[in-house]
Structure 1
Amino acid sequence: MGRDLHLFPLSVLLLSSLAAATAAKSADEGTIFDLAKSLSNLPSSWGAGSDVCVFDGITCERGGSGRVTIINLRDKGLTGTLPTSLSSLTALKELQLQGNALHGDFPSLAGFTDLTRLVLDGNGFTSLPSDFLKDMPSMQYLSLENLPLKPWAVPDAIVGSSSLETFSASNASIVGAFPAVLANLSSLKSLRLSYNKLTGGLPAGLAELIALENLQLNNQMSDGKLSGSIGVVAAITKLKLLWIQSNKFTGPIPDFSNSQLEVFNVRDNRLTGVLPASLFEIKTLLNASLTNNHFQGPMPNIHNVSVDLVGDTVSRFCLAKPGPCDPLVTTLLEVAAGFGYPAELAETWNGNTPCGNWIGVICSNGNVSIFYLHNRGLSGTISPAIANLTGVGKLDLSDNHLTGVVPDALTTMSNLKLFDVSNNSLNGELPMFKPTVKVLAEGNRFGESGSGSESDSSLSNSEAAQK
């Protein structure tokens, strides 16, 4: 009798577990029948019998709970909507519905902790639930391509999907700044967010995506598009395919020497500067598309790489073939490098003849005599290469956003009569110019080390000249 009492709780526990499993299986069956009622053009097997586990596209766990673990109805020509009861299929590991014509709101799958694969491409879903991607730690493959969704932003909850390897959501109505939260997904190998309405720059955190091999951000449809520098991309050393064409990226192409790039597409942007020779020395590189940018300087020496470089892009180089630029052009481009190769300068600073229409450059007898870039929105630093413009008598960089120090080399410019760097953010010590040079330097932070000192270092003309 005592022995029977001892076993009683265990028996109750087993019966309770069995009842729970039976209830869960029954609920799953009810959900599949709900799904059958809400869809049209289902496979014929969905109308035969009551065992949903034999339905085409349905996989159940065998020898255990019997719960539904996979729904794969891809490319079945289905129409209709998804029932809200779909959220009860919590044992689901894969849900593939791509290539159909389903519409309406996509139901909540929050808490689907076993779900590894969700593919919805090419349907007509108009919204995602507010708790989309919440508590999905097993997610590895997420594809939301070509969906007419209401504008939405990638939720912060995606950070919980720490095993995610593929996130593909091209033409899916994603809006706003680039989702910086994605930088936390260290397992990510493929990221495709093309044809959305993203704006602004690429976050520095992208450099942390050490497994990323495929990055596609091309053809943003927002007014501002994606913009700013692409420097962070060069830090993703496993990257093989980069598609960022048809945006508004600016600045130079960074050094990709440590990359494994195979395909490099940056066409139709506003990139500037000298094309780095290191790009075409990448042994894995097969294709580079560079057309319709504002590149400057020498034509690159290209070997064993298919390169798209046509029309106006080619005409911007110094020469139509590889070779050195005119020395004056080389000097001016070194100056532009200090400013980060700004797009405004790149508009006219191209070709091999700077004494003509180059913004801010006025020549006399083939040498630059006036260098005038007042209030051009310049940032970056003052390059010591300016000192090589020995014929300059007037040098005006006032009312910009320049930082760093004034190079000592500028004091050696023998023809300099006016030096104006007023109203920037320069620091350090202003070098001593000759008494014959009129120096305008007020509105800077001279005397500071860049550490945030509060000293007032504005200098009058006579003080600066005699300092």
Structure 2
Amino acid sequence: MASQDEQNGKTGLLLAFLCVSTSSLALGAAKSPDADAIVDLARSVSNLPPSWTAGADICGYEGVTCDKDSGRVTTIDLRDKGLAGTLPSSALSSLAAVTALHLGGNRLAGAVPSLASLASLALVVLDGNAFTSLPADFLKDVPSLRDLSLDSLPLQPWSLPEAIPSLSLEYFSASAANLAGPFPANLPCSSLTTLRLNRNNLSGPIDAVASLKSLTVLMIDHNSFSGPIPDLSGMSQLETFSAGDNLLTGLVPASMTKMPSLRRVSLANNLLQGPMPEFGHGVDTDVLGNDFCHPEPGRPCDAQVTALLQVAAGFGYPLQLSRNWYGNTTCNSKDGTASWVGVVCNGTDVTEVSLQQMNLSGTISPAFANLTAVVRLNLSGNHLAGAIPDALATMPRLALLDVTNNNLRGQIPKFKPSVQVMAQGNRFGKSVPPPAAGVPAGTTAGSPPAGTVSSSLPANSASRFNLGIIANVILALVIANWG
């Protein structure tokens, strides 16, 4: 039988062991300063892995990695776990050491939590969830972010300038994420190598693309982008350019076909015109579903087609022309009709171009002068700016030029006396020549020779001109009789 001293000694050892054990458990439970945040996260999310049990060390949770020294959470990777519920901003905002947040392939809903001020955060993947909105400060003050993926999210319509500040991103993907508005002009251009914005509701021109000099992959297909493809020759690292299923117009830039870095080009199902582009060997291309003038790559278009496409270039290749100006024949050689809107033919020659009141902007192209058979040119009632090109004064058969009611400036070129120039309603300065006797204000030169003006002259234009002459003649007769 043990003595009293021996029993006291054993009791002391037991108490000491219990104290040490209890202390160790307490230290284990409070091992990570982020324990409260992770527990808060667990309360809002269902279908978490079995290791996420109350009272366990959060650094042992599946998908959670901690720094060994500080115990702080550095990564959360719970991709494709079937998670449901919401993500509270209060839980994530305190994870000051987290560098990666990968929650793709789940069923998380509600608003995307704000990740503002997480200075160490470098990667965020939220693909394929059920998030419906992004807070305005979603990524405010997150200077380390390099990879951001927001694919296949049923978000309310949003635009990049609203939610994505100027970050040093290298990879950004927001495909099928209900993006709307214009192409983002304020994306960081110094470090971005991959940009995927396909299958959204983006629209307008893509000129800003050319500023992203470091891109290797650009995917903007299945949107509503319009206008011409800009010169991409400054993007010396671009390997993939995918812009199919948009409303792009105009010619494929020749510089694009010579880019040595390109490996894949998709331009299918747009409204592109001119010669079919001819890319180098080894470039995987898809250019079907456009309005090229020939199915043979590199083959030039008819001279009149080329001239009219150059005319359209001055207007910025507007959709209303691109939808009608296609093919390689402007005039039907059998009956002299024209299938191109605003174009009138005589045999195989374009004799009239009437594009009045078509909401055109841009400038008047000197390429009109290459249409040497044109008798009548009507560009009235648009928003054209700049000057009337001097080349128009060299058109050998031109009898009528109507540019009334635009925003033209500069000087009116010196046309032949046989050319009627109607130019009122513009912003010409003192350089506008005074009207000749019997010609309405804003017009210059004499009447066109008989038979040279198309009979398709609009009634309102012809009536204004004829009434002006009649009024002046009557006035002259009255004055003469009074004299």
TM-score by length of 2: 0.76
Residue number among 286, 296, 313 corresponding to 1:308 in the alignment = 286
Counterpart for residue 404 of structure 2: 422
Match of 2:253 in 1: 276
- Aligned counterpart in structure 2 of residue 53 of structure 1, from 50, 53, 59: 59
Taking the aligned partners of 2:164 and 2:413, their CA distance within structure 1 comes to: 43
Task: Check the 8 A contact 2:116/2:140 in 1, yes or no.
Answer: no
Residue 436 of structure 1, CA deviation:
2.6
1:163-198 CA-to-partner distances (Å, cap 9, x unmatched) read 221111112234445312677534111111111222
In structure 2, the residue matched to 1:115 is 98
Alignment-derived partner of residue 345 in structure 1: 321
**Offset of residue 412 of structure 1:** 1.7
Partner-residue secondary structure (3-state), 2:307: helix
320-329 or 40-49: bigger deviation: 40-49
Which residue number in structure 2 is paired with residue 75 of structure 1? Answer: none
Question: Quick one: structure 1 residues 61 and 133, their matched pair in 2 at CA, closer, same or farther if it must change by over 3 Å?
Answer: closer
Question: Equivalent residue for 2:14?
Answer: none
Distance 1:227 1:37 in 2: 41
Structure 1 stretch 247-256 or stretch 29-38: which is displaced more? 29-38
Instruction: Tell me the SS of whatever aligns to 1:419.
Output: strand
* Paired amino acid for 1:292: N
**Hey, what does 1:73 align to over in structure 2?**
none
Distance 1:463-1:280 versus aligned 2 partners, 3 A rule: closer
SS in 2 for 1:149: strand
The reply to whether residue 229 of structure 1 matches residue 205 of structure 2 is yes
Task: Please provide the CA RMSD for this pair.
Answer: 3.1
| Deviation digits for residues 388-428 of structure 1 (CA, Å, limit 9, x no counterpart) | 21211111111212111111111222222221112222222
Q: Deviations over 1:352-378 (max 9, x none)?
A: 101131111111132111101111121
CA contact (8 A) 1:318 1:350 kept: no
Secondary structure of 1:387 counterpart: helix
Counterpart mapping for 1:167-316 below 5 A? 167-176=148-157, 178-180=159-161, 184-206=165-187, 208-220=188-200, 225-259=201-235, 260-304=237-281, 305-310=283-288, 312-313=289-290, 316=292
Counterpart of 2:444 in structure 1 is 465
Q: Which residue of 2 aligns with 1:411?
A: 393
Indicate the structure (1 or 2) with the bigger Cα radius of gyration.
2
Deviation (angstroms), 1:292: 0.6
- Given that 1:186 and 1:210 are in contact with CA atoms closer than 8 Å, whether structure 2 keeps it comes out as no
Pair 370,156 (structure 1): closer, same or farther in 2 beyond 3 Å: farther
Report deviation, 1:435.
3.2
Contact 1:45–1:54 under 8 Å retained in 2: yes
**Secondary structure class of the residue paired with 1:160:** coil
* 1:324–1:24 CA distance, 2 compared to 1 (3 A): same
Within 1, Cα distance between the matches of 2:135 and 2:54? 41
Change (3 A) 1:249 1:28: closer
CA distance in 2, matches of 1:381, 1:35: 59
User: How far off is 1:217 after superposition?
Assistant: 0.8
Q: Following the alignment from structure 2 to structure 1, what is the Cα–Cα distance between the partners of residues 41 and 182?
A: 42
Matches within 5 A, 1:136-151: 136-150=118-132
**Match for residue 135 of structure 1?**
117
Match of 1:440 among 399, 408, 422: 422
Structure 1 position 326 matched with structure 2 position 296: no
Residue identity over aligned pairs, in percent, reads 42
Structure 2: state its 5+ residue gaps.
1-26, 332-337, 447-483
Counterpart CA distance in 1 for 2:204 and 2:49 is 50
Give the superposition deviation at 1:154.
5.9
State the number of aligned residues: 407
Q: Give the direction of change, closer, same or farther, for the CA distance of 1:115–1:444 in structure 2 (3 Å limit).
A: farther
Distance 1:35 1:395, change over 3 A: closer
